[in-house]
Amino acid sequence: MRSLQTEIEQRGARIFELVDRHPEPLFSKAGFYQRLMALSMRDERFKVQMFRFVDVLPSLRRSGDIVQHLDEYFTDMRNGFAPLVRTGVRAAKIVPWISGQLLRWNVSGMARQFIAGKNPDDVMKTLRKRHEQKIGFTVDLLGEAVVSEKETDEYATRCLELLEHLARETDGWSDPLDDGTELFPVVNLSVKISALYSQTNPADPADAIAHLAPKLRPILRRAKELGVFINFDMESFSHKNITLDLFKALFAEPEFRDWPHAGIVIQAYLRDAEKDLVDLIDWGRARRTRFTVRLVKGAYWDYEKIKSTQNGWSIPVYLQKPESDANFEALSRVLLENESIVTAAFGSHNVRSIAHAQALGDELGIDRTRFEFQLLYGMAGPVKRALVEMGYRVREYCPVGELLPGMSYLVRRLLENTSNEGFLRAKFSDNVSEKILLRDPNGLVRESPNGAGNPDSVSKDRHLLDGASLDVPPGDVYENAPLVNFAYQQSQEEMRAALRQVRARLGKKYPLVIGGERVWIDRTTASLNPSAPDEIVGDVAAAGIPEAERAVKTARDAFAKWSRTPFEERARLLERAAAIMERRRYELSALEVFEVGKPWAEADSDIREAMDFCLFYAQQMRRIGRPRLTQHVPGEESYYHYWPRGVALVIAPWNFPIAILCGMATAALVTGNTVIMKPAEQSAVCGAMLMEIFEEAGVPPGVLNFLPGHGSVIGAHLVDHKDVDLIAFTGSREVGLKIWESAGITRPSQRELKRVVCEMGGKNAVIIDSDADLDEAIVDSIYSAFGYQGQKCSALSRLIVLEENYDRVLERLLSATASLRVGNPEEPGMTVGPVIDKTAYERILSYIEIGKSEATLAFQHQNVPAKGYFIPPTIFVDVKPNMRIVREEIFGPVLSVLKARDLDEAVKIANGTDYALTAGFFSRSPANIERAKAEIEAGNVYINRSCTGAVVGRHPFGGFKMSGGGTKAGGEDYLLQFLLPRVVTENITRHGFAPEETPLYRDEFRVRG
Ligand SMILES: Cc1cc2nc3c(=O)[nH]c(=O)nc-3n(C[C@H](O)[C@H](O)[C@H](O)COP(=O)(O)OP(=O)(O)OC[C@H]3O[C@@H](n4cnc5c(N)ncnc54)[C@H](O)[C@@H]3O)c2cc1C
């Protein structure tokens, strides 16, 4: 008996032989397009610019804009294409109308290679042609990027219309193999789940399924009546479990239980694909009805890698191409071995993968009409033809829709076709030999010098982490703590368990901690759950003046020793604290849900940020801790180093209740200051937890003192205290400015000039340019404005939209806001929870009233819980720059939309505020993006992404003007503000003799003894 490998090689050779009989280049459309693709494969920068240009083009309405973008994207290219573009652009500027049309036509041509038709009528032409070629079809409706429930309803309606149309038009068509229609209906529709619910949150599969199932049932019902096959496509990893659960839930319902014409996709590039497939097969056996699995490698490889790396998640996909190939083969075996319950559809263009499935099918004695090969429209035409000639069942995946909604599909195809790793490029462009193309991928994995790629290790090269090279960006020497990935069921369960556990101890009492002692006093403040204000989260001691005095004295006394403690020991304290936070991570997040109304993921990112502050500042302290030589000069050495300032008063807000408190306190601690830590009254239990963590981590008595209390009672007293040397404050402008002023007054017997590290509010603007990608701009703007109820100092409150786009943006913005989930954040998928307390609630409502009198109320969310401090997300239009709602900080879910004539006016409006904290700009014009980078006045300017969510080390955070003193939390310079610089100079010459070498660094200067 011949080995499987020999069989595969033989079949592969046969396919190649048939393919070579009808040679076809990788890109079937000749001319312009082929040249572009060839160039893209040679020149990575050109490829990036080209894909970006293709991406923006359909949204440009005027020919002049098209020419302008062409110019911006390509004229500084240095390759063979540049002279052509330059000439083209010059000519185009003379006759923009003609050139704009020409470019649009060419890019449409490019899209037509992959998109089978603009509409149901149009696609029928392709399907008829394929039918004659004995190729079946599955149709996919483009436009999955939905931002609102209105858009999902439209998509569902279009799906139904498409079904009817296809069924009507193919009436009487026979099976291409004249066999097996009961397994393979003629009409086959591929559905993308993400297009049917705009609020899918990976943390809340139950909610997603509860919304998706009613949308899908009518489609399935009609499909069943019409004898149509429905396939659930698979999208990004975050949707995977939801898609699988939904499939299993729907097709187990009595109505659909016996219906065999349902299929789902398994992506072999996922590490957990085999487990999912085996689970599905078990489910299928219990259901006792056939179903289909389309096995693919997967279309979102780049996205998954980028997203996971950014969030510090374990990467769910294999990292080496042969691993995906090998897994595809392993899963092919699982599928074919279970042919009695599952029909296999192999979705691949790779001749090796295809030949493997064929050989295995034969080995297992499965008739070739009982499974099928599926390939994408516009790709690998000769392979399809060869398979038909060999008597296999072939189905083509035919996307239908306009170019604009089809853009993400088109970009995925362009990436795939030009990928260095891809089979199609290797075979049809790079002419790699058959022998190489048919190699066993398992052998390649084994032979790889790195073995199988490690999902946790790609984020950084180790050599980068020592920061040895000057070329390394400063943030790169630090690797952030990971976020929790709530797409995993285990994370969801841990969070639910933590919520139960924290709920059980609500109402506990918390003391002050001064000098390591728990101080119980009668005066307490109840911290309430803003979702249910009758629930007391904790009763926290409220310090008065005597306790404040005691805390200052204790901190002062502890300073002598702590300031002389080696920085390495102080850094380790922070690292131990981070490790404890990691251990108690879910519990801390759960507490934030109760105490400050944070949705799950927001709470988790607060804990991550706190850990990051500990770890980042520990690392930064090591960087600056040792005395450093100022200059090499013979006979003398001067060392620059730092001393701590003294007693630091840390006054923190409630909106990032652990992260900001922790960030300011750890910066003070690691630099050798002693600390009085005053949390906000509304989040004092979170503060108590942080204290507990530091006690467990071993902070010496008196070095960190926990002093919750009312700002009006102890705040001013401590700020003015002669023995407080530094005040680190984050909070409102009103309080911040008072501190700034009062700290400038020198009190009798005060030792030091007080240093104030001050972060205040913002009135942050986002500009949406006329060529912006609205799918992204709308979603990110909504998140920036309404995420955590707009209670982030970075939150968006002024959305500035260019006139040209205004109506389109507004229409989508309002319906997307109407779709937001508002409710108790104990529920996992909530986007908008309650505002912090009654005062905030009343203040925000009064601003809404002001808004109604100044501007036009365009939208107010209707579905808001009656109990708790819930404020409906609210949008005002007809807003003018001088109105109160655009000048004053509201700190709630209220958004003003302003119309700007052009970018000049938009930037002017954005900058026309007292604040300069964050800002955002959505655009696909390279020139406008450069302009925004240069001109927008804000401490943190974000392009083409939300303006909230700064990450320590990556986005050092803080503003200027009335937003703050220009400090950058989580940045390289931050610790310097907690330090006094010193220089020690020694004449090292003795009678004209001096050592030749002076070390760059010295150990810390310490008294020996
Ligand atoms: C009919 C059909 C329907 C499809 N439906 C879906 C769907 O619903 N969902 C979906 O996600 N995909 C889907 N795909 C798959 C996807 O769109 C790609 O076409 C497919 O992954 C390409 O694989 P290949 O075997 O043709 O080519 P090959 O060139 O052999 O494989 C390319 C694939 O390998 C993987 N890969 C690339 N680089 C690496 C690396 N460094 N490490 C590990 N793996 C790597 C990627 O998945 C890449 O797409 C479908 C494909 C077809 C043909």
Over residues 676-734, the pLDDT tens digits come to 999 999 999 999 999 999 999 999 999 999 999 999 999 999 999 999 999 999 999 99
Per-residue pLDDT of 234-268, as tens digits, reads 999 999 999 999 999 999 999 999 999 999 999 99
Q: Are 318 and 450 a contacting pair, CB within 8 Å? A: no
Helices marked H in 2-148 — which ranges?
4-21, 32-42, 44-56, 63-74, 81-94, 96-114, 120-132
784 by DSSP, 3-state: which?
helix
- Cβ atoms 275, 236 nearer than 8 A: no
**Using one digit for the tens of pLDDT, what is the confidence trace for 864-904?**
999 999 999 999 999 999 999 999 999 999 999 999 999 99
377 ligand 1 Cβ < 6 A: no
Task: Determine whether the shortest distance from the Cβ of 619 to ligand 1 is under 6 A.
Answer: no
Distance CA 674, CA 558 (A): 7
Q: What is the pLDDT of residues 669-684, one digit of tens each?
A: 999 999 999 999 999 9
Instruction: Note the pLDDT of residue 852.
Output: 98
Q: Is 756 in the pocket of ligand 1 (CB under 6 A)?
A: no
Whether 1008 shows a pLDDT value over 70: the answer reads: no
Q: In what order do the strands lie in the sheet with 636-644?
A: 628-629, 636-644, 979-987
Q: Residue whose CA is closest, atom 17 of ligand 1? A: 299
Q: Please state the atom number of ligand 1 nearest to the C-alpha of residue 190.
A: 8
- One-letter identity of residue 588: L
- Which of 296, 356, 415, 427 maximizes ligand 1 atoms within 8 Å of its Cβ, making it the mutation to test the pocket? 296
* Residue 233, ligand 1, Cβ within 6 A: yes
Mean pLDDT, to the nearest integer, of 938-950?
Answer: 98
CA distance 944 to 807: 20
408 beta partners: none
The answer to whether the beta carbons of residues 356 and 334 sit under 8 Å apart is no
Closest residue by Cα to residue 917 from 935, 933, 894, 940: 940
Active-site annotation holds for 686 = no
Write out 944-998 in H/E/C secondary structure.
Answer: CCCCCCCCCCCCCECCEECCECCCCECCCCHHHHHEEEEEEEEECCECCECCCCC
Q: Which of 159, 398, 686, 793 is catalytic?
A: 793
Does the annotation mark 759 as catalytic? yes
Average pLDDT, the chain: 93
Taking 80 as the threshold, does the pLDDT of residue 487 lie above it? yes
Share of the chain above pLDDT 90, in %: 81
Kindly state if the Cβ of 301 falls inside 6 Å of ligand 1: yes
Closest C-alpha to 480, from 586, 605, 395: 605
> Model pTM greater than 0.85?
yes
Q: What is the helix, strand, coil percentage profile of the chain, to 5? A: 50, 15, 35
* Average pLDDT rounded to a whole number, residues 392-407: 89
State if residue 726 touches ligand 1 by the CB under 6 angstroms criterion: no
Q: What is the DSSP string of 842-883?
A: HHHHHHHHHHHHHSEEEEE-----SSSS----EEEES--TTS
> What's the confidence (pLDDT) of residue 81?
65
Any atom of ligand 1 within 6 Å of the Cβ of 805: no
Q: For residue 672, which amino acid is it?
A: G
Give the C-alpha separation, 394 to 697, whole Å: 63
Q: Nearest C-alpha to atom 31 of ligand 1 is from which residue?
A: 422
Query: Are residues 250 and 256 in contact, defined by beta-carbon separation less than 8 angstroms?
Result: yes
**Which ligand 1 atom is at minimum distance from the Cα of 375?**
53
Separation of CA 413 and ligand 1 centre (Å): 10
Q: What is the pLDDT of residues 136-166, one digit of tens each?
A: 999 999 987 899 999 999 999 999 999 999 9
The whole-number pLDDT of residue 423 equals 85
Two structure tokens written together for 572: 């380790």
Cα distance between residue 922 and residue 913, in whole Å: 20
Rounded distance from Cα 764 to ligand 1 centre (Å): 41
Q: Please state the rounded mean pLDDT for residues 342-348.
A: 98
Atom of ligand 1 nearest to the CA of 265: 8
Q: What is the pLDDT of residues 177-200, one digit of tens each?
A: 877 667 899 999 999 999 999 999
Lowest-confidence pick of 75-84, 518-527, 862-871, 992-1001: 75-84
Give the span between the Cα atoms of 842 and 839, in whole angstroms.
5
Q: Tokens in use for 511?
A: 């003391």
- Please report which residue ranges of 698-831 form alpha helices under DSSP H: 716-720, 733-743, 774-786, 803-818
Q: What are phi and psi of 980, to 5 degrees?
A: -110, 125
Beta carbons within 10 angstroms of residue 722's beta carbon: 14
Phi, psi of 572 (to 5 degrees): -65, -35
Q: What is the largest CA-CA distance in the chain?
A: 109
Kindly report the protein residue whose alpha carbon is nearest to atom 9 of ligand 1. Answer: 234
- Would you say the CB of residue 416 lies under 6 angstroms from ligand 1? yes
Model confidence pLDDT, tens digit, residues 14-72 = 999 999 887 776 555 556 667 777 778 888 888 888 888 888 988 888 888 888 888 88
- Residues 137 and 398 sit within 8 Å (Cβ to Cβ): yes
Distance (angstroms) between ligand 1 centre and the Cα of 347 equals 8
For 292, half-sphere exposure in the C-beta direction (CA atoms, 13 angstrom radius) is 28
Distances (CA, A) of 414 to 40, 82, 111, 408: 10, 21, 10, 10
Whether ligand 1 lies within 6 angstroms of the CB of 299 is answered as yes
Question: Tell me: the pLDDT tens digits for 971-997?
Answer: 999 999 999 999 999 999 999 999 988
The protein residue whose alpha carbon is closest to atom 40 in ligand 1 is 321
Residue to probe by mutation, ligand 1, list 297, 319, 353, 454, most atoms within 8 Å of CB? 297
Task: Characterize the bridge pairing of strands 291-296 and 915-916.
Answer: unpaired
Select the more confidently predicted residue: 461 or 983.
983
Pairing state of beta strands 726-730 and 755-759?
parallel
Q: Is the CB of 298 under 6 A from ligand 1?
A: yes
The tokens describing 361, both together, are 């099918």
Which pLDDT score is estimated for 221?
Answer: 98
Q: Is the CB of 374 under 6 A from ligand 1?
A: yes
pLDDT level of residue 1009 (50, 70, 90 thresholds): low
SS (H, E, C) 326-391: HHHHHHHHHHHHCCCCEEEEEECCCHHHHHHHHHHHHHCCCCHHHCEEEEECCCCHHHHHHHHHCC
- List Cβ neighbours of 268 (8 Å cut-off, separation of 6 or more): 295, 296, 297, 298, 324, 325, 327, 328, 331
Residue owning the nearest CA to atom 43 of ligand 1: 321
How does residue 473 score in pLDDT terms, banded at 50, 70 and 90?
Answer: confident
Choosing from 235, 602, 637, 759, the catalytic residue is: 759
Confidence class for position 821, pLDDT limits 50, 70, 90? very high
Residue 178: the pLDDT is: 77
pLDDT of 466 reads 43
pLDDT for 111 equals 78
Give the residue carrying structure tokens 């080696």. 566
Sign of CA dihedral 976, 977, 978, 981: positive
Within 8 A by CB and 6+ apart from 752, the residues are 645, 646, 725
**What are phi and psi for residue 534, nearest 5 degrees?**
-85, 0
| Residue pair 732/680 in contact by the 8 Å Cβ criterion | no
Cα–ligand 1 centroid distance for 27 (angstroms): 18
Asked whether the beta carbons of 315 and 303 are under 8 A apart, the reply is: no
Nearest CA to ligand 1 atom 52: 347
Q: Which helix (H) or strand (E) holds 654?
A: none
How many Cβ atoms sit within 10 Å of the Cβ of residue 362?
A: 15
Q: Is the CB of 414 under 6 A from ligand 1?
A: no
331 vs 324, 326, 327, 767, CA distance in Å? 10, 9, 6, 48
Contact 620, 666 (CB under 8 A): no
Cα–Cα distance measured from residue 87 to residue 77, given in angstroms and rounded to the nearest whole number? 13
Contact 267 CB / ligand 1 (< 6 Å): yes
